[in-house]
Every structure is written in structure tokens, then in C-alpha cells.
Chain A
């Protein structure tokens, strides 16, 4: 097979290249078919190599060809109809922009786009939950144990023992509203005090605060007396602290305040 030498002045045109490769491909293919039909083997034929080479070239040409397709079609159309002076014939054709394949996907996309435009983006209502992923099981147990120990140390039994055996003067139960707990004011009380002092305002008393002020804490006293066993065990050894079940647990259900859903933390 001789390669036809091509005379080119301004470089090889894309279309010329395409046609020449196609032609060579067809010639080689017909040669292979001839050999097969006449019973000869095509093992180690140079034809096959050439075919493969030409095939790869064609494959590479295909995306470029696809991009040029539109222009080429337009030019061909004008050449056929003969109206090349009319510039409006080159205007955009919106029907061609819609893909004729995958019609279902396109319809869905349009619907989604429409609904998105109408409604404002609403973020999902999920209550923020503490992230425990980086904490190993051992460290978590350690922390629980530490917390249980601290709670045990400040329990009623231990406080009474301390009063009995130490020589410190007895401190009477001061201020119910702030400084209520055994370790001074609770976190809420401290925060409220800080806020009031920085902003020079008095925050009004909340409903539960008012209730708490009215009711004496008889119910909690009995619990303190009966739970001292577990506290002492924790202080001594490595016994795992059992979870304290709150007697008055409100049935909150799936949705909490303001309709926020709580997701499982693990």
C-alpha cells in the first residue's frame, strides 16, 4: 500500500484529514474481508495494525467533529438552498438546544427548577446534637466516672459527714434564689447574675423559678437519702456508675421546642 502524498499549502484541513482517514480505513477493511473470504489467515497482517491506527485517529477526531457539526450543517444548508446573504438564517434555533435523548430527566429538572424559584430555601429543622465521634469509649467511661465521683463528693451524705468530722464552722443554707445548691449558685443563676450586672437590667422571674420558690424540696430529699449507696461505691473503686433515671420525665416525643427534630447522636 502506498500512501498518497497530499499537497497542502496552509496545513492539512480537518475535513480532508477525516475523509482521507475514512477512505484508508475502508480500503484496509475491504482488504481484510477479501483475505478472509478467500480463506487466507489474517494473523500478523500489517492491515490490522493500520486499521487500529486509523481507528484511533477517527476516535480522536470525533469530539472535534461533534463541535464543528453545527457549523458544517449550516454551511451545507446554505450551499444547498443558495441563500447565503441572509444573515438571519444563522440565528439560534432553540429547538436544537433541547436534548432529544433523556427526556424524563430533563422534565424533572425543569420541575425542580420551577419549584425552587417559587419557594425560599428553608434549612432543615434539626436540633444540634453533641458530637461524640472523636471520644473513645475508655475516655468516655473515665469522664463519667469522674463526674460521678464529683457528684458523690458533694452529695448530702458526704456533706453531713464532713460537717460532723471536720472543724470548719457550720454554714447555714444561704440564699435560695442565687447560691442555692451546695456548690453555690447553679450555672443558670450565675449566668443570669452576670447578664443582669453587665446590662444593668433585672430579668423577670420565670414560671418554673416561681414554682420552685413556692414549693419546698421535700421530694428531692428522699431521693438523696436512698441513693447514697451508689455514691460511696463510686468513691471507693472502679464500679461503673449507673444512669440516674429522672422520675419526672416529660413526654417530649419526636419534636422538641419550635418543632425541631432531634437526631440520634450516634
Chain B
């Protein structure tokens, strides 16, 4: 089904693999790329659940028109899985401490305080 609002094709992916373990997402992406004639980097698959007893796995797949649309609409964690997004390495505690340090200062000194103290 094509979702024109989000510029993508979205589908439920059923993988049948009797006698094998669950198939890797990269392999599934390549197969989908061949089926839909789309570049593999615009294809995002997720939510795979293997049925009891093995042999069948069901998941979801999205094929974006272009990579720009993918970067715009996909959630950050899925982009991170493909290496298109890097999370900031600062921990929550550090961010909060920085904010509290900035609260003590007024104006342009805020950036200096934040940058200087964060290096500690």
C-alpha cells in the first residue's frame, strides 16, 4: 500500500523459512529491493516476530521514495540502525547539570559556561 502523505510504500512482510532460524533484516531488505526495484538504503524493516514452532516470521516494511524523505519521516532509532543518525553521547544527567549551570548566568556568557564546564 502506498502512503502518499509520507511518500512511502508500507507493507506487512511475511517471511517463510522452514527449518532455518529467523532471517537477518539486511537479507530481507535486499530481497525487498529486488522485488520493488528500489535502492536498499531507502528500505526500512522492523518488528519481526517469529511464530511459535518456527518457519514463519512476520514484520513490517517501509520503502521510501528517496533517502531524504526517509531521513525526514523515519524515527531516529531506525535511522541509527542504518547508520544515518548519531545520537548525542551526552547523558541525561550531564545535560541537566549543564542547564542548571547556564541558569546562573545571563546573556552570551551562557555558552561559555556550558562549554567550559562540560569539558570537566
Contacts and interface: CB of A to CB of B under 8 A. Distances in A.
Interface of A: 174-178, 196-197, 200-202
Contacts of A175: 51-53
Contact of B10 (A176, A177, A178, A200): A200
B12 interface: yes
Contacts of B52: 174-177
B52 to A, nearest CB: 4
Interface string B1-42: 000000000101000000000000000000000000000000
A177 B52 CA distance: 7
Interface of B: 10, 12, 47, 49, 51-53, 60, 62
Contacts of A201: 47
A197 B62 CA distance: 13
Contacts of B47: 196, 200-202
Contacts of B53: 174-176
Nearest to B48: A202
A200 B60 contact: yes
Which among A196, A200, A201 has the highest number of chain B CB atoms within 10 Å? A200
Contact of B51 (A178, A196, A197, A202): A178
A178 B51 CA distance: 8
Contacts of A197: 12
Contacts of A174: 52-53
Closest 5 A/B residue pairs (Cβ): A176-B52, A202-B47, A200-B60, A175-B51, A175-B52
A257 B53 CA distance: 36
5 contacts: A175-B53, A177-B51, A200-B10, A201-B47, A202-B49
Contacts of A178: 51
A202 B52 CA distance: 16
A201 B47 CA distance: 7
Find the residue from B47, B49, B52, B62 having the highest chain A CB count within 10 A.
B52
